[in-house]
Structure 1
Amino acid sequence: MTGTVIGMVLFVGFGIILSSGRGSSLIAGFNTLPQEEKDKYDSVALCKFMGKVMFALSSSMILWVLSEVYEINWLLVLGIILFIGIVVFSLIYANTGNRFKK
């Protein structure tokens, strides 16, 4: 349970940094692009989106903690399904439709 709480705190911290429009260096893949490729993207919009994703992931992790505290296994399953669903949605949303291109 302690590891989950630490993970939640880290995700919320990253979410706060990213939601402010800064911290593009925290986004895997984006920080490794050459500068001329980075200039093609709206990094503020991408950071804000990823900040919302971090908040959503940390919210699903609350179910993990609640399942441990109240010993309700279906909360853990629901939390894991939500976590995976959020990750899949965010990957598809961010990589289709050129949403973050300038």
Structure 2
Amino acid sequence: MGLIIMSCVIVLFIVMGIIFSNGKGAFLIAGYNTMSKEEKEKYDSVALCKFMGKLMFALSFAMVFWLLAIIYSTNILFVVGFILFFIFLVFGLIYIGSSGKFQSKK
């Protein structure tokens, strides 16, 4: 059962990564979708979506270790996947918040 659920979550993250990589789906980004129209104009939504796509692919890669941990019944793979997931997530949040890359050029 856990194998099926984890596989579905990984596929969902990959599909979302594909959507984001095409520069679409900004309404799915928490925080961005709650901004006013004036606030949204301050950001380059395409660049933000493309970065989120890369982040989704990285997170799904980390989750593959969780899947392998279920298949091989070993905790070390789960720990490796969790550490990678945490590192990717923290890096992504810090990069989005501190980088001026996502500020609109307008």
Match of 1:76 in 2: 78
- Unmatched 5+ stretches in structure 1: none
Query: In 2, Cα distance between the equivalents of 1:45 and 1:38?
Result: 13
**Deviation digits for residues 22-73 of structure 1 (CA, Å, limit 9, x no counterpart):** 1100100001111111111100000000000000000110001111111221
Q: Which structure 1 residue ranges, 4+ long, deviate > 4 Å from structure 2? A: none
Letter in structure 2 aligned against 1:12 = I
- Unmatched 5+ stretches in structure 2: none
Match of 2:97 in 1: 95
Match of 1:66 in 2: 68
Percentage of pairs with the same residue: 52
Letter in structure 2 aligned against 1:6 = C
Root mean square deviation, CA, Å: 0.8
Query: In 2, Cα distance between the equivalents of 1:69 and 1:61?
Result: 13
**Deviation digits for residues 6-28 of structure 1 (CA, Å, limit 9, x no counterpart):** 11011011100000001100100
Query: In 1, Cα distance between the equivalents of 2:23 and 2:67?
Result: 29
Q: Give the deviation of 1:99 after TM superposition.
A: 2.1
Aligned length, in residue pairs: 102
TM-score (norm 2): 0.92
2:19 to 3, 17, 20: 17
